Structures are given as C-alpha cells and as structure tokens.
Amino acid sequence: QKEVEQNSGPLSVPEGAIASLNCTYSDRVSQSFFWYRQYSGKSPELIMSIYSNGDKEDGRFTAQLNKASQYVSLLIRDSQPSDSATYLCAVNDNFNKFYFGSGTKLNVKP
Amino acid sequence: EADIYQTPRYLVIGTGKKITLECSQTMGHDKMYWYQQDPGMELHLIHYSYGVNSTEKGDLSSESTVSRIRTEHFPLTLESARPSHTSQYLCASSDIAQGNNEKLFFGSGTQLSVL
C-alpha cells in the first residue's frame, strides 16, 4: 500500500504569517504531486501541482518538491483567515492512480 | 477547470434501500473515479474507470457497483444500503491526454446518511 503521510495538525498561525505544510510519500516512482484545499463539508479543490524538483510559485502559494527525500511541502505566505481549511497532499504514481494523505488542518487566527 | 456534477448533495435513507449516486462531467475526461471520505479522514478510492465500458475496483473494498455506459456519466449504486455506508462520496475526473500532467478534479460530493 502506497503511503502519503501528513501531520494532522491543527497548525495554528497568526494572520499575515507564513504557514508551512509538509508531506512525505513512500513510492519512489511517483511522478506528480498535488496540494488540495478542502473546507469543512466541501470537496477538495486543486490549488497547486508540481512535477520536478525545486520550487513552484503561484501567488501566495509555493510548492516545494524534493524527490530524493520523498518530500513535498506547501508554503502559504501572508496567511488569511480564509485560508483556514484542511490541506491534502496527493501523489500520482506511474499507473496514474492518485493517493491522498489524511490532510493537515490549518487555522489562521485574525 | 472541470465541471463535475453530483446529485443528490445530501441523502438520508433507511436501511435496505437501493440508491444510486449520480455523477456527470462535461469536459470529455476519459478517467473517472469514486472516492469515499469519512470526516477528518483520508480519501479512499473505491472505483475508477478509464473510459466507456471500463470499470475497476479501487483500493478500499466496497459493496457498491459502478457503470460507465457514456463518457460523461459514472453512477454509483448501492443495492442495499446499511448504516456502515454512511459517508461522503466524492466523484472526480481527469484527462488521460495530459499524460504526466494529469490533474484530478472533484465534484461537490454526496453526503449519505443511512439510518
């Protein structure tokens, strides 16, 4: 069973701070990596995808990938209360099956 | 961005009833999926399809069945609902043509409660 591990949190940060979310995965042949945001009672929403080592920035979000360490992270700059949600890490393997972590709950306090 | 529609949004039903959860997408995506998610827990893949007339069981054993007669439609059926089936059911789709850039998009989900 391929595993995607995340700290369940909750991670609490003050408004305006940087939130750092981490994820590790067990399958070395994983090709694609994703971060989804899920508000309570809602479905996951794709916010970032990353395919190669390094950083990828999109607005206030930066995804970081290190395949050698099997580690992917998401940084949220200038955190807002509206960023409060559960963030799911997902991995796509060579067979194009998606595996999800259990998510990290983020609380941004005003 | 994919448009994926799930109905009903909420369903409360008695034990033993047969139910069908509907899922349709308008983007022409080949692959469609059903995930099950309990509150605060990870998503579990229960069924997926690579295209018309293709259905596969996922990693989590499920008593449900699916069909894929049309590209855009991927309904999930429970022949006899039980309280253990109470959960959120999420339908998703992706485009094989994107290759390694394949992304997964979700519908709004169906929250099922079996009494």
Give the minimum alpha-carbon distance from A15 to chain B in angstroms, rounded to a whole number: 24
Q: Looking at residue B92, what is its pLDDT?
A: 96
Paired tokens of B39: 């509150």
Q: Largest Cα–Cα distance of chain B, in whole Å?
A: 43
Check CB contact under 8 Å for A103 and B42: yes
For the purposes of burial, counting CB atoms within 10 Å of the CB of A71, is it exposed (0-12), middle (13-18) or buried (19 or more)? middle
Check CB contact under 8 Å for B100 and A32: yes
Q: Which position has the token pair 């950083």? A: A55
Minimum Cα–Cα distance from B47: chain A residue? A97
Q: B111, B11 in Cβ contact below 8 A?
A: yes
How many Cα neighbours within 13 Å face the side chain of B10?
Answer: 3
User: Helix and strand tally (H, E) in chain B?
Assistant: 0, 11
- Phi, psi angles (nearest 5°) of residue B10: -135, 145
- Tens digits of per-residue pLDDT, A52-78? 999 999 999 999 999 999 999 999 999
pLDDT truncated to tens, each residue of chain B (115 aa)?
559 999 999 999 999 999 999 999 998 899 999 999 998 888 999 999 999 999 999 888 788 999 999 999 999 999 999 999 999 999 999 887 666 677 889 999 999 999 9
Check CB contact under 8 Å for A51 and B100: yes
Paired tokens of A101: 């972590």
Paired tokens of B103: 């992304």
CA B71/CA B46 separation, integer angstroms: 19
For the purposes of burial, counting CB atoms within 10 Å of the CB of A87, is it exposed (0-12), middle (13-18) or buried (19 or more)? buried
* Chain B residues near residue A90 by CB distance under 8 angstroms: 104
Q: Looking at residue A9, what is its pLDDT?
A: 86
Mark the ranges of chain A whose per-residue pLDDT is less than 50. Answer: none
Which residues 49-88 of A are in CB contact (within 8 Å) with B? 49, 51, 86, 88
